[in-house]
Amino acid sequence: MALIVQKYGGTSVGSVERIQAVARRVRKTVAKGNAVVVVVSAMGNSTDTLVNLAKQISSSPSPREMDMLLSTGEQVSIALLSMALHELGQAAISLTGAQVGIVTDAEHSRARILKIKTERIQRHLELEEVLVVAGFQGISTRDDREITTLGRGGSDTSAVALAASLQAQECQIYTDVDGIFTTDPRLVPSARLMESITCDEMLELASLGAKVLHPRAVEIARNYGVPLTVLSSYSDAPGTHVVSQVPKPRSLTGLEITKAVDGVEFQRNLAKVALLGVADRPGVAANLFREIARQGIDVDLIIQSIHEGNSNDIAFTVLTEDLDKAEAAARKVFPEVEVKVDPAIAKVEIVGAGMIGRPGVAAQMFSTLAAARINIQMISTSEVKVSCVIHEQYCDGALAALCRGYAVHNYTETTTAPNEYPPVRGVALDHNQARLAILGIPDISGMAAKIFGALADNKISVDTIIQSQRCRARDGIDTRDIAFTVAQGHAQMAKSALADLAKTVDLEAILIDDSIAKLSIVGAGMVAKPGVAARFFAALAEGGINIQMIATSEIKVSCVIAESEGKKALEIVHDAFELCG
């Protein structure tokens, strides 16, 4: 007999009829010979309704009382679903998070699951009862027994954590869409439903997929190898499989990593090629990387920083053995541009799903490296990774410092072996971003740490960060520029935080542009496969779209473009990678 965990979201239990439909589906799953644990969200928008009630009474309600309030939503839906199952003649029992023993830390409104006691669930399963468990909630057992919630959208996390703890055969997340699409189907109607996606890709596509599947749930699935499927509660379509490699066995206590960063990675034998002052117009990156791809060279990190006047800097890394060919290609495409190379660099990275939306993680990396007196040559960030390029001789020191700083036991070499996954699985457009650029920052170690520390102190989450390649002399000191993106709503706050900083640090200017969009391609198969980025840039060039910034991780390439061109760019790129259904 297989054990299946099913989770139904708010819309799937939004009415009496929907609850009855869920009961029938659960009953069918049992009839096929499965044991079933069901996790449900609160009905429809009832959590929002509760939040609004609280707001009418207090502008800053106590987090403890908020948890007391919001946890009631799920208590309603579990009881009703259990009753609906009884009506179908199905033995069932509803349990709150506390009754199950979903033990969390004591952080109200954003608690993390420490462990799940499974004895009571096992007892009911032996009696052939269906368990109906309240999602999104748990209990902290540290002092008094306090009801906690996991944060909005947390029922996915409850479901996957239960599946991991019970070693379920499968965790099925039922929602109101058919699964995960190659891009947002509301923007691109030809978007195709994905048959499968890896957990890592899913995390990098957070701006596309987070509404369908909570990143914390994906992280648990990845860490414990939980087979996960996202599917519609309105149809019998097979949905999307979210797959992971079989992970190393790990303890079920401390289940949700409470740390933002759970890995430190590195890669050596890399070389850097930087082109200083290429023209700021469509087609430049496309021409460069088309030639590099034609030579069969795989490019790793690519960054393009903001333009000064009307020129850009583009820098990228390749294996040291490919440096000569890459340099020759760059000089061939841009004979009149200054090309600088460095044959001995290393890439150090911090990795972790917990850094999504958590300010200060990148800042800590920069200050750790600064404290070790290591100069950062390139920075590139993605949803779940921050990569810094440093001189190779500092690699060991950097790894030791980062492991210490983030309390990570061991560092690992970034996997760069070719694989069978498609090079591009999905395309995400994020137009809710603004770009800030800080010009003329003194080129001394510790500046990135200061800047992103100041933003973190103001609770501002930074998205893509890019440091320019070029040094300019001002009053006898070398300076650089750093650009980054933040959520549009945080742009002004970020600017004033930096204006404060400018009182003590000598900066030239702080520029803000909120009419930008970030377009990203994500695919586990782009690792060690030349030409993927080139195709992306070429598609944009053919559409006459100018690239303002580029940042990459191993499985993601992001371009910042003008917001007004976002939708068109998304369509073109989605098409170029033949993702249409």
> By the criterion CB under 5 A, which residues form the site for Mg ion?
9, 153
Least separation in angstroms between CB 436 and ligand ASP = 30
Q: How many other CB atoms are found less than 10 A from the CB of residue 66?
A: 17
Task: Find the shortest distance in angstroms from Cβ 135 to ligand ASP.
Answer: 6
Name, in order, each residue with C-beta under 8 angstroms of 77's C-beta and a sequence gap of 6 or more: 13, 19, 40, 41, 42, 43, 134
Tell me which of Mg ion, ligand ASP, none is bound by residue 73, counting a contact when its beta carbon lies within the kind-specific cut-off of 5 to 8 angstroms: ligand ASP
Q: Please, which residue, 50 or 580, has the CB nearer to ligand ASP?
A: 50
Tell me which of ligand ASP, Mg ion, none is bound by residue 198, counting a contact when its beta carbon lies within the kind-specific cut-off of 5 to 8 angstroms. Answer: none
Nearer to ligand ASP, 104 or 485 (CB): 104
Handedness of CA 345, 384, 482, 302 (dihedral sign): positive
**Least Cβ distance, residue 9 to ligand ASP (angstroms):** 6
* Residue 47 interacting partner from ligand ASP, Mg ion, none (CB closer than 5 to 8 Å by kind): ligand ASP
Between CA 219 and CA 200 the distance in angstroms is: 8
Minimum distance from CB of 248 to ligand ASP (Å)? 29
Pairing of strands 3-8, 170-175: parallel
CA distance 325 to 296: 10
Q: Cα dist. 488→65, 114, 435, 460 in Å?
A: 31, 34, 8, 11
Could you say which DSSP state residue 547 is in?
Answer: P
Nearest Cα residue to 510 out of 435, 416, 431, 415: 435
What is the rounded CA–CA span in Å between residue 571 and residue 427? Answer: 9
**Among ligand ASP, Mg ion, none, partner that 101 touches (CB below 5 to 8 angstroms by kind):** none
Strands ordered across the beta sheet of 113-116: 113-116, 102-104, 137-140, 146-149
Give backbone dihedrals phi and psi of 507, rounded to 5 degrees, phi first.
-115, 155
The option from Mg ion, ligand ASP, none interacting with 552 (CB < 5 to 8 A, set by class) reads none
Residue with tokens 């000598």: 506
Nearer to ligand ASP, 135 or 422 (CB): 135
CB of 435 to ligand ASP, least distance (A): 30
Using CA atoms, how far apart are residues 208 and 172, in angstroms rounded to an integer? 19
Q: Over 274-318, what HEC string results?
A: EEEEEECCCCHHHHHHHHHHHCCCCCCCEEECCCECCEEEEEEEE
Contacted by 154, from Mg ion, ligand ASP, none: CB < 5 to 8 Å by type = ligand ASP
Nearer to ligand ASP, 39 or 278 (CB): 39
Q: Which does 289 bind (CB under 5 to 8 A by kind): ligand ASP, Mg ion, none?
A: none
* Long-range CB pairs of 58-63, under 8 A, 24+ apart, other chains included: 63/108, 63/109
Cβ at position 6, least distance to ligand ASP in Å: 14
CB of 101 to ligand ASP, least distance (A): 19
User: Whats the size of the chain, residue-wise?
Assistant: 581
Nearer Cβ to Mg ion, position 153 or 209? Answer: 153
CB proximity list for 408: less than 8 A, separation 6 or greater: 261, 262, 263, 264, 402
Contact between residue 520 and residue 427 where contact means Cβ atoms under 8 Å apart: yes
| Least distance from ligand ASP to the Cβ atom of residue 4, Å | 19
Q: Which residues lie closer than 8 Å to 313 by C-beta, 6 or more apart?
A: 274, 275, 276, 277, 278, 304, 305, 468, 469, 470
Indicate the residue among 212 and 527 with the shorter CB distance to Mg ion.
212
Cβ closer to ligand ASP: 50 or 344?
A: 50
Closer to Mg ion by CB, 153 or 239: give it: 153
Least separation in angstroms between CB 359 and ligand ASP: 21
Residue placing its CB nearer to ligand ASP in the complex, 9 or 263: 9
Q: Is 492 helix (H, G, I), strand (E, B) or coil?
A: helix
Give the nearest distance from C-beta 402 to ligand ASP in angstroms: 33
**Contact residues for ligand ASP, defined by CB under 6 A:** 9-10, 41-42, 47, 73, 135-136, 152-155
> CB 84 → Mg ion: shortest distance, Å?
21
The letter for the amino acid at 456 is: A
Kindly state the smallest distance separating residue 217's Cβ from ligand ASP, in Å: 9
- Closer residue to ligand ASP (CB): 96 or 381: 96
> What are 356's two structure tokens?
């999504």
Contacts of 503 (CB under 8 A, 6+ apart): none
CB neighbour list of residue 38: distance below 8 Å, 6 or more residues apart: 5, 6, 7, 8, 22, 26, 81, 130, 131, 132, 133
Binding partner at 464 among ligand ASP, Mg ion, none, C-beta below 5 to 8 Å by kind: none
Question: Which of Mg ion, ligand ASP, none does residue 135 bind to, with CB < 5 to 8 Å depending on kind?
Answer: ligand ASP
Q: Which is nearer to ligand ASP, 150 or 533 (CB)?
A: 150
Q: Which is nearer to Mg ion, 77 or 267 (CB)?
A: 77
Three-state DSSP state, 522: strand
Residue 501 in tokens: 């900083």
